[in-house]
Structure 1
Amino acid sequence: MADAPEKLATPTDLASNATRSVADTLNQALADSYALYIKTKNFHWHVSGPHFRDYHLMLDDQATQILGTTDVIAERVRKTGNTTLRSIGDIARRQQIRDNDADFVSPTDMLSELRDDNLKLVEAFREVKEAAESAGDNATSGIVDEWTDQAEERAWFLFEASRAG
């Protein structure tokens, strides 16, 4: 008979019930980050019209930035002694940002939807901040500020790009 698998025993001085709350909010933000990444790439691939090049490049840059935060978020969950997302199904169960499976979305609607989704992600990051501060997890509380600023900047760029000239 094989030995039972070892439990994860990440060293941390934070209380396990407090870190579980932080991990839950981080995993929620991580699921939303993946949902937003896929939607941004979808729109990047399918954007059309007179501003194609500008939108195509902007959405690619934004998708790259979003994907760049995912590993840091997941590793923060692990540093608190918890586990993170395991599958596409796990993401789907947790995500609050809605998918868009439409065959055609106008460029204006794409930018508007992504703007709103980035602002939803800002809300998720604010929940992470609140949970981290309640848990005394100053490392998570500090790092989430950068993710919030990036999402706010993406929302701002999407807003400005979608304004009528």
Structure 2
Amino acid sequence: MDPRLRGERVEVERGIHAPRRSRQPAAGPAEHRGTGPAARGREGRRYAWGEAFDPSRCISFETHVRGPTPVGVFPGGDTPQGLADMCGNVFEWTGSLYRPYRYEAGDGRENPDDGEGRRVVRGGSWLNNRQCARCAYRLNGGPGHRSIYLGFRVLCVSPIP
């Protein structure tokens, strides 16, 4: 594994509830954001870049890279808006509680105070095949679950225009 990728092990609950200890707003992305226009476009693309799988655009089992890579190694897999690594590399935690489909915004799955419920993970990983590397691929994990194929997205927005 690339030593630059090693870091503090952060429990899901700690990451999701970070705003309680910080003056900066933070939250795990809602499940629908990982499968909505940002990741799949208004067209509902199968993969971030389009309909056909291409191992040169993401890290999955077919790529034969045996571990996660730094963000941006596969720029051909970026969404048209420039969002990187939405397919493959590592599954990403969302802040959404795992519930059966269909997504309904008011059904309680976005409750940040439920520290016991299983959370949705999305996007596949380096360890999984092309079927799992889709933006819409969905699994779940409990609050204490850790794995070499699981991570989370950090998004920083500058207050300076």
Determine which structure has greater relative contact order: mean sequence separation of CA pairs < 8 Å that are 6+ residues apart, divided by chain length: 1
- Structure ranking higher in strand proportion: 2
- Structure ranking higher in helix proportion: 1
Whether the TM-score (by the shorter chain) exceeds 0.5 is no
TM-score bracket for the superposition, by shorter chain length: under 0.3
TM-score in terms of structure 1 length: 0.25
